[in-house]
Amino acid sequence: MRLTGFTLTLGLCVLSATLVVKGQPRPRDPNAQTYANNCAGCHGTTITGGRAPTLFDQTWHFGGDDASIRQSIMEGRSGTEMPPFKSMLKEEDITGLIAYIRAQAEATKTSTARAQNPAGQVLHTEKQAVKMEVVADKLEAPWGMAFLPDGRLLVTERPGRLRIIDHGKLVEKAIEGTPTVWTQQDGGMLDVEVHPDYAKNGWIYLSYAEPGPNNTSMTAIVRGKIKNGKWVEQQVLYHAPPELFYPTNVHYGSRFIFDKQGHLFYSIGERGHENEAQDLSLPLGKIHRVNDDGSVPKDNPFVGKDKAVPTIWTYGHRNPQGLAFHPVTGKLWETEHGPTGGDELNRIEPGKNYGWPVITSGKLFGRPGDPNPPPEPADHKEGMESPIVSWTPTIAPSGIAFYTGSRFPQWVNSLFVTGLAGEALRRLDTDGDKVTHEEIIFTGYGRVRDVAVGPDGYVYVALNVPGIRLSDSMPGLIIRLVPN
């Protein structure tokens, strides 16, 4: 069961994020709007929490009285990702926010507020009635998906495992010998991709948070093969130099996609170091393009440029977690997380600057203990690309996929966008380079991490159901949407 009072207030607020920032419908409760704009992206919208603990179970690490909560909001908390909001929120906003958190905590005492079971649920969408089928459960935090030519499905689990779903049956044993991963906070095993000529060469690609010295980590890219249930013949495509292994456990990226010429695109987040997204001498906050073996294509836009990393395709990204080619235009589209709101859908062109942290429709904030708040960013700037779509309040977009199958003819060329905040799968109508309409396909079944169109034409979705606290296990499942 969902928490009724919560759904009517905060749920409405989160789901009001639309294609344009201006002119959004506002919820009836302004305190719910304050929470959605500033808190939901990390702490989640239900008692299941998000990438940070829920605020509705009355478990407090820095004191639960009003004065302590007020201090946390105003000053942030050193050693955590909790930023200071004193430059962003008025006194009455903070008072209302505390009251809202208290009210929701009281309501949760009579409800578990866990995600609904999707098995057999029928969804009456705008263009198609569909049924949800569970393909595999008993997974832990599934992150990425990729189909093998024979129809088997590869799934990464964030704690560091690569699994196989064999036509609806989860193979009990994980693939042995995969890389050791760093699993703190956002870190872990991330995306998986299959080489377009897999039937001939057997290559599979993995991205993950690689552990470094002194509790540091960084995104890494490798490829290897699966033989007799083991990961073998591994080759490293990207390994960062020691100075780029950071103690921050955020913004690793990372998503893969191949183009029709056999080039591999992969994304790396800015790892919480905002300004490095604008620095072409560093790989952070970029989308990269390489040959299938990791070598640099000669026509990359920054090849031969002074000190520029030659694999860079585009820059100025924050935390890009979605990549997909439009089936009609052939252009690359991308999603990334904004700071507080301002999540983005971008059309990717080689050599372009996508603005982070100079332009964003989200809110910037300082770090705990920093007396000088950052300057207010612009919505646009000459020489920098503005998004096709931005979402405020946050939806925390992750994987995306254009529908190209035959099972849902009315969905052809629609873009599916997953959302961690608000726990929603969205469908966007597209017309060339434009988005003309947005529909929420479902919400309330857990954090929606990835989406893929299967060789059978069905839509496959990876769901995560967080525990109440960050330390809890995060059960997950793979579902698919079929015509009803």
Per-residue pLDDT reduced to its tens digit, 439-479: 999 998 999 999 999 999 999 999 998 654 444 568 999 99
Q: Which residues contact 186 (CB under 8 A, 6 or more apart)?
A: 51, 209, 249, 250, 251, 252
Across residues 8-16, what is the average pLDDT? 32
Q: In the chain, what percentage of residues exceed pLDDT 70? A: 87
Model's pTM, two decimal places?
0.85
Q: State the average pLDDT over residues 242-247.
A: 97
For 54-113, write each residue's pLDDT tens digit: 788 777 888 888 898 898 888 888 767 788 988 888 998 888 888 888 888 776 665 444
Is the pLDDT confidence value at 374 over 70?
no
Residue 234 pLDDT exceeds 80? yes
pLDDT higher than 60, residue 132: yes
pLDDT of 381 over the 50 cut? yes
Which range scores top for mean pLDDT: 12-16, 92-96, 111-115, 374-378?
92-96
- What residues are paired with 134 via a beta bridge? 479
The 10s digit of each residue's pLDDT in 288-305 is 999 999 999 999 999 999
What integer best gives the mean pLDDT of the chain?
Answer: 88
pLDDT category of residue 32 using cuts at 50, 70 and 90: confident
Catalytic residue numbers, as ranges: 251
CA of 370: how far to CAs of 42, 86, 240, 367, 374, in Å?
A: 21, 11, 29, 5, 9
Show the domains of the chain with their CATH numbers.
Answer: 4-108 (1.10.760.10), 122-483 (2.120.10.30)
CA–CA distance, 85 with 31 (Å, rounded to integer): 15
Report residue 311 CA to chain centroid gap.
23
Read out DSSP for 422-440? T-EEEEEEEETTEEEEEEE
Give the model's pLDDT for residue 37. 83
Nearest partner of 420 among 319, 332, 311, 349, judged by Cα: 319
150 CB-near residues (< 8 Å, 6+ apart): none
Q: Which two tokens stand for residue 359?
A: 């332009």
Amino acid sitting at position 83: P
The DSSP element (H or E) to which 199 belongs, if any, is helix 198-201
For the chain, what percent of residues have pLDDT higher than 90? Answer: 68
DSSP single-letter state for residue 378? B
Confidence band (pLDDT; 50, 70, 90) for 2? very low
pLDDT per position as a tens digit, 388-447 = 999 998 999 999 999 999 999 999 999 999 999 889 999 999 999 999 999 999 998 999
Q: What is the pLDDT of residues 173-228, one digit of tens each?
A: 999 999 999 999 899 999 999 999 999 999 999 999 999 999 999 999 999 999 99
pLDDT over threshold 80, residue 27: no
- pLDDT attached to residue 466: 67
- Inter-CA distances, 118 with 132, 230, 338, Å: 6, 32, 29
